[in-house]
Amino acid sequence: MAKVFYLGGLKYSTDTSVRLCSSSGIFETTTLYRTINGAFFTVCECLTGETKANVLTESEAHSFMDANASQIDIEKYNSVFGVPKDG
């Protein structure tokens, strides 16, 4: 089910955005998205039923992915950023 959030006067929709990465904890799951206009946002769904959304800078989005590297959707990452160089 698509979720829509109005943040800073802009609309952020999980339905029209690319899901890049997620992080699951005991009490919450946070998912990182990129909009069709290139903005990044996270949606945090708590065990209590509460849902929160936050806008991130590109640098913050990369930090989120670095911290949750095993949960990156590689195909979607590559389509958004291109294939990274070997480390």
Predicted structure pTM score: 0.91
Which residues are within 8 A (CB) of 14 and not within 5 positions of it... i.e. 6 or more apart?
2, 3, 4, 31, 33, 43
19-50 pLDDT tens trace: 999 999 899 999 999 999 999 999 999 999 89
How far apart CA 66 and CA 25 sit, in angstroms, is 16
The domains of the chain are located at 4-80
Q: Hey, is 12 helix, strand or coil?
A: strand
Q: Which uninterrupted H or E stretch holds 64?
A: helix 58-67
9-21 pLDDT tens trace: 999 999 999 999 9
The burial class, CB within 10 Å (0-12 / 13-18 / 19+), for 42 is buried
